[in-house]
Amino acid sequence: MNRREFLVVTGAVTAAGILGIQVNPVAAAASNKPLYRGTPDGKLFESTDGGKSWVLIADFTPLYAVQSASKEADDRVKVQLNYWGFEFSLYSKDKTLWHTV
């Protein structure tokens, strides 16, 4: 997914909010490098070029909305997910195997 496609998706979520359709907000968390961006349908993207292009690194399925994502001091990626109003966090050192916090 390139930057343009990503902005179209996030713009659609913003438009839904303006129209009064209830949608979980798109969460973005930036560290020095890389950048992380999550979507309400459970996808987590990473950018290593300042946001010019995004790569899908995790898909938690549409049941889990990504609320936030960040890079921790010990190089782990931490993600906060929402499932039917219940929030919980996962972390990963390699971005393939996720553990509860």
Query: For the domain that residue 80 is a member of, what is the CATH number?
Result: 2.40.10
Whether the bond between 34 and the residue before it is cis, its omega within 30 degrees of 0, is yes
18-34 burial, b at 16+ Cβ within 10 Å, e below that, comes to eeeeeeeebbbbeeeeb
What's residue 61's pLDDT? 93
CA–CA distance, 77 with 87 (Å, rounded to integer) = 17
With 70 as the cut, is the pLDDT of residue 46 above it?
A: yes
CB-based contact 77:60 (threshold 8 Å): no
> In this model, does residue 22 exceed pLDDT 60?
no
Number of residues that make up the chain:
101
Q: Looking only at Cα atoms, what is the longest distance across the chain? A: 41
pLDDT of 90 above 70: yes
In the structure, what pLDDT confidence band is assigned to residue 34 with cuts at 50, 70 and 90?
confident
pTM: 0.66
**Domain residue limits at 58:** 3-100
Total domain count for the chain? 1
Percent of the chain at pLDDT > 70 equals: 68
